[in-house]
Amino acid sequence: MLDQETITAIADELAAAETARETIPLLTARYPDMTVEDSYAVQNEWRRRGIAAGRRPVGRKIGLTSKVMQAATGITEPDYGAIFADMVFENGSVIEHSRFSNVRIEVELAFVLRDSLAGPDTTVFDVLRATEYVVPALEILSSRIEMAGRTIVDTISDNAAMGGMVYGGNPVAVDAVDLRWVSALLYRNETIEESGVAAAVLNHPASGVAWLANKLAQHGDKLDAGDIVLAGSFTRPMWVHQGDTVTADYRDLGAITCRFV
């Protein structure tokens, strides 16, 4: 386990990289004994400092919940990160590309909670009961740590590569549609690049939220009423560049679009 001084120094380094829009060298190369719990401690310190600086937490993201994402990253277990209000964009937003590093897009569902969820024994059914509605969302990935050779320790420390999110389309109650069969087509500049079905997320997207509630309990935390939870991608990450327009068509749940400038 890393000492608190080192954890604080890493959190400061990541915060500076986010502000400068730069990447830093791999943590695992510099701290070969760094553990998953160390990386969550770094993330928690970074989140705490963000709150102290006036950033408003609005939820959490879950990453690496589908086989396609695990295969794309070489990482075999889920992780989570924090969402602040200044990371959330409305449908149709024009977004500054240079705000992020190594910019990629993922297709997801966002659960908006009516009730709090606290592990350690949260189930899919608990999640469904606690959810006010589900809405289409795109996650913007941004890596503040260099990409090549990353492990889950690097990724978690880097707030699970969370950069931002775009939400839109049609909010639906959890019993209004079979969430497993929600599907989407992901376009970049009017060309389909990816497609997927939400069941790719741990067989049911609500399973990701249950995993998160139980994982947070291990860290003395929980999900609060009103939280937005990105349940995990059911497509591979798609690279986007300055000038690209991104559209995700969720059929009956509507569409999301954004443009990077």
**pLDDT tens-digit map of 6-57:** 999 999 999 999 988 899 999 999 999 999 999 999 999 999 999 999 999 9
Which pLDDT score is estimated for 255? 97
Q: How much is the mean pLDDT over the chain?
A: 94
Once rounded to an integer, what is the mean pLDDT over residues 173-195?
97
Band the pLDDT of 149: cuts 50, 70, 90.
confident
C-alpha 68/C-alpha 194 separation (Å) is 11
**193, burial (CB in 10 Å: exposed 0-12, middle 13-18, buried 19+):** middle
pLDDT beyond 90 at 141: yes
> What domains lie within the chain, and their CATH numbers?
4-260 (3.90.850.10)
List b or e across 19-40, with b for residues whose CB sees 16 or more CB atoms inside 10 angstroms.
Answer: eeeebbebbbeebeebeeebbb
Tell me if 243 sits within 8 A of 206, measured CB to CB: no
Among 130, 141, 76, 86, smallest CA distance to 108 is for 141
Among 188, 187, 143, 177, smallest CA distance to 161 is for 143
What pTM does this model have?
0.94
Which pLDDT score is estimated for 78? 85
Which pLDDT score is estimated for 68? 66
Tens of pLDDT, residue by residue over 85-116, are 999 999 999 999 999 999 999 999 999 999 99
Residues with Cβ within 8 Å of residue 136, at least 6 apart in sequence: 108, 109, 110, 167, 168, 169, 170, 184, 248, 250, 253, 254, 255, 256
**Three-state SS at 239:** strand
Tens of pLDDT, residue by residue over 52-80, are 999 999 999 998 877 766 666 666 778 99
Tokens representing residue 199 in the block: 């069941």
Tens of pLDDT, residue by residue over 109-137, are 999 999 999 999 999 999 999 999 999 99
Which pLDDT score is estimated for 69? 66
Q: What is the 3-state secondary structure (H, E, C) of 14-36?
A: HHHHHHHCCCECCHHHHCCCCCH
The strand pairing partners of 98, in sequence order, are none
Which pLDDT score is estimated for 7? 97
- Residue carrying structure tokens 């996650």: 139
Once rounded to an integer, what is the mean pLDDT over residues 139-159?
93
Tens of pLDDT, residue by residue over 215-241, are 999 999 999 999 999 999 999 899 999
C-alpha 61/C-alpha 164 separation (Å) is 10
